[in-house]
Structure 1
Amino acid sequence: MKKFLAMSVAFAGLLSLFALPSHAGISLNETRVVLTGPKKETSMLVLNDESTPIMIQSWIEPFSTSSDQDVPFALTPPLKRLNGNARQQLRILYQGMGLPADRESVFWLSVQEIPQKSKDENILQIAVRQRIKLFYRPAGLPGDVDQAPSRLQWRMMLKEGKPGLEIRNDSAFHISFGTVNIKSGSSSYPVPATMLPPYSSQSFAIEGASSLAPGGATKIEFESINDDGVAVQHSGDLSS
């Protein structure tokens, strides 16, 4: 224990030798980007919130780290010097092929701040990255993206012998969640759902719900995130 405390104090002392930046220097004008076909181009803005110049590096990558999916987009400029309090438009260009025509596709769009090298060697420079979702939505998809969350199907089940919830999305759209809660009487049980791809289902164990049996819950209350990044409240019925 004494050795651990000594190491902790030494590490804290080492950190005190450096001045850390107080916050990130860039902001984005979007929380998500949606490119809707047949358009092949859209854009977003990056703002340097600081008074000093920075470099920004931008790129698009597969949403899943385990995916070997091609990225049929170009992002320009990929590298740019941004003066203090200036803004830069990023153009997102789709090459026009390589993605499914019957459903949405999703990617990560990242913008990383690369600070100018400090003249003070005691300043610790940190490159801060912001990452948002990029959706490609083909033209002519069936249904209405704003109505898709209300058409989700919710089913109580057993997952590994414990109460669980299955969510089914029969739409062509990704559905992003803010919060998801099962309501049963005066109790509320959170569900760790984040996003459901088109034409898919996911199941989740319900933590702390050992007494919640299939058929015992009453309803679902959840938030979906729309194209503007706004949380929209919904409720749904459970089946068993």
Structure 2
Amino acid sequence: MKKSLAMSVALAGLLSLFAVPSHAGISLNGTRVVLAGPKKEASILVLNDESAPIMIQSWIEPFSTSTDQDVPFALTPHLKRLNGNARHQLRVLYQGLGLPADRESVFWLSVQEIPQKSKDENILQIAVRQRIKLFYRPAGLPGDVDQAPSRLQWRMVPKGGKPGLEIRNDSAFHISFGTVNVKSGSNIYSVPATMLPPYSSQSFVIEGASSLAPGGATKIEFESINDDGVAVQHSGDISS
């Protein structure tokens, strides 16, 4: 314990010797990119919010680190010098093969500022990365992406001896959540759902809920995030 505390103090002292930049130099004009078929290209703007030029590096990677999923996209430019207070269009190109045609696929798109070499040796430089979701949406998918959240199925299930909530998505679209709350009588319980893939279900323990109000007294209230990154409010019933 003493050793750990000493190391923490030493690290804090070391960092105090350096000046750290107060904010990042780049920003993106969206919170997600949707490449909708039959188009083979989508884009997003990268903005340099500083007066000095910067270098940016961009790449696409699998959404899940537990898979060896191929990334059938090209990104241009991969490396770019961006002048002060300038903007540049980052293009995502899909080769047209390698992804399911019956549902959406999701990847990470990362854009990182490459720190410039400083003349001052006492400056601690940090590479700041912006990471957003990239969705590929094949043409001809059944249903409507904007209606998919309202068609989710919510069911009470016991989980580890505690009240639990199962969420089922029978649509071909990913559904991203803002907040998800179970409202039981006058009590509100938060559920840590973030995103539900197509044709899948997830179950969560309803933390803090020892028992729930019977029947129609228990409702679901949640936010879904649409293609524009806007949180849309929903409410619904929970089946038992």
TM-score band w.r.t. shorter chain? over 0.9
3-state SS, counterpart of residue 211 of structure 1: coil
3-state SS, counterpart of residue 239 of structure 1: coil
3-state SS, counterpart of residue 38 of structure 1: coil
Q: CA deviation at 1:170?
A: 0.5
Q: CA deviation at 1:236?
A: 1.0
Q: CA deviation at 1:12?
A: 2.8
Sequence identity (%): 91
1:19-46 C-alpha deviation (Å, 9 max, x unpaired): 0010111000110000110000111110
Change (3 A) 1:214 1:133: farther
Change (3 A) 1:134 1:2: closer
Change (3 A) 1:75 1:207: same
Change (3 A) 1:217 1:108: farther
RMSD: 1.6
Name the CA distance, whole Å, in 2 between partners of 1:7 and 1:103. 49
Name the CA distance, whole Å, in 2 between partners of 1:162 and 1:213. 14
Change (3 A) 1:39 1:3: closer
Q: CA deviation at 1:51?
A: 1.1
3-state SS, counterpart of residue 119 of structure 2: coil
Change (3 A) 1:196 1:3: closer
Q: CA deviation at 1:67?
A: 1.1
209-218 or 140-149, which deviates more: 209-218
Asked whether the equivalents of residues 53 and 116 of structure 1 are also in contact (C-alpha less than 8 Å), the reply is no
- When normalised by structure 1's length, the TM-score is 0.95
164-173 or 77-86, which deviates more: 77-86
Name the CA distance, whole Å, in 1 between partners of 2:164 and 2:105. 28
- The residue correspondences of 1:117-128 to structure 2 (distance < 5 A) are 117-128=117-128
1:136-171 C-alpha deviation (Å, 9 max, x unpaired): 111111111000000000000101111100000000
Name the CA distance, whole Å, in 1 between partners of 2:6 and 2:60. 44
The aligned residue for residue 213 of structure 2 is 213
3-state SS, counterpart of residue 4 of structure 2: helix
Asked whether the equivalents of residues 184 and 216 of structure 1 are also in contact (C-alpha less than 8 Å), the reply is no
Q: CA deviation at 1:15?
A: 1.6
Name the CA distance, whole Å, in 2 between partners of 1:215 and 1:57. 53
Name the CA distance, whole Å, in 2 between partners of 1:174 and 1:233. 17
1:62-120 C-alpha deviation (Å, 9 max, x unpaired): 10011111111000010111111111111100000111111100000000111211000
3-state SS, counterpart of residue 217 of structure 2: coil
Q: CA deviation at 1:215?
A: 4.8
Change (3 A) 1:80 1:157: same
Asked whether the equivalents of residues 185 and 213 of structure 2 are also in contact (C-alpha less than 8 Å), the reply is no
The aligned residue for residue 47 of structure 2 is 47
- The residue correspondences of 1:1-240 to structure 2 (distance < 5 A) are 7-212=7-212, 215=215, 218-240=218-240
- When normalised by structure 2's length, the TM-score is 0.95
For these two proteins, the number of residue pairs brought into alignment is 240
Unmatched segments (≥5 aa) in structure 2: none
3-state SS, counterpart of residue 11 of structure 1: helix
Q: CA deviation at 1:13?
A: 2.5
2-11 or 207-216, which deviates more: 2-11
Unmatched segments (≥5 aa) in structure 1: none
Asked whether the equivalents of residues 216 and 237 of structure 2 are also in contact (C-alpha less than 8 Å), the reply is no
Q: CA deviation at 1:4?
A: 5.9
Change (3 A) 1:7 1:100: closer
